[in-house]
Amino acid sequence: MPSLIKDHDEVPLVVHSKVTGPVENLSFLEKSLLFAELSMVSYNDEAEATRAAIAIGFPDVTLFDNDGSQAFRFRNDNDCIIACRGTEPNEWNDIQADVDATAVLAETVGKVHRGFKKEVDDLWPELETALTDNDLPLWFCGHSLGGAMATISAGRCFLSHIACNPSALFTYGSPRVGDNAYVNYVELDHYRWVNNNDIVTRVPPAWLGYRHAGQEVYLNRNGIIRKLTGMRRFMDRARGFARGLRRWKIDHFSDHSIHNYIDAILPAAQEDASDRRHGEAATKADELAMPAPEPKGEPTDSEEAVR
């Protein structure tokens, strides 16, 4: 049963995940739902986010906030999760970060988006200190700008004094973060969810040298996970766009909503859980996700499709 977290004069926050053991024991789709919901929870104020996290199974909640850059640490006896907050339209700092697409030298190799880097720079000293002695499995997640911040933060863990490297990174509607050298520098399990025409996943443009990292998990126009590239991807997006127009909306923007990601992942996770209760094996990540892009300068087929 879903948990409803009610706040005064606001639409109740609904969460379906319920964690009672180590995150590693969850199936890929259960993890994907959990991290999508925690990415959603991170948009809320500290009090409401804490109530939601407790309902999910993470009673230890800390908000890191510096100059508008924000992330939550959700922790229990088994795991530590960092969920970076995405763009808030009424936060000028977030808008500045999104539009400042100048590529600057990264702290590792290659170049990275200056606006996203600054958001992480603002938080990193406090975040690194909080994680230095962490001995629990560490996970990162985020939606939109939060996905970009989570990508950069997870990579920095490999260069820091943090005791353990991230177990995995899950992002939803994330923009491109850096150039080819940057995104391929760190070997990390990264699952990058893309919902059909989500416009944010297509920026900054590939012709500026930006590349995506990780294994892409693509949701088609009907919210079904499919491995589509090239012309099949183009046609699926065209049909999604046409359907949006018939409904008087531009789905390039509506597809970006974290709620639409959750609405698509939820039934897949529930079906997967039902199959496992009947003795079938859980669906593995590689059955659903595209292979990670090759570490070279030219865009892959899926990169070409999302230009």
- Residue 234: what pLDDT? 95
Reported for 8-13, long-range contacts at CB under 8 A and 24+ positions apart, including other chains, are 13/40, 13/41, 13/44, 13/48, 13/52
Q: Domain residues of the chain, as ranges? A: 3-305
- Residue 217: what pLDDT? 97
Question: Does 3-305 carry CATH code 3.40.50.1820?
Answer: yes
Report whether pLDDT(53) > 70. yes
Report whether pLDDT(265) > 70. yes
Residue range 199-243, pLDDT digits in tens: 999 999 999 999 998 999 999 999 999 999 999 999 999 999 999
- Residue 68: what pLDDT? 85
- Residue 296: what pLDDT? 56
Average pLDDT for residues 139-163, to the nearest whole number? 92
- Residue 191: what pLDDT? 97
Average pLDDT for residues 257-286, to the nearest whole number? 92
Confidence of residue 303 (pLDDT cuts 50, 70, 90): very low
The tokens for 37 are 């919901």
Mean pLDDT over the full length of the chain: 88
- Residue 1: what pLDDT? 73
CB 131 within 8 A of CB 74: no
- Residue 95: what pLDDT? 44
Helix axes 258-277, 28-41, angle to 10 degrees: 150
Residue range 75-117, pLDDT digits in tens: 999 999 999 998 654 444 444 555 567 888 888 889 999 999 9
Report whether pLDDT(299) > 70. no
Residues 6+ apart with CB under 8 A from 89: 95
- Residue 302: what pLDDT? 45
Residue range 24-44, pLDDT digits in tens: 999 999 999 999 999 999 999
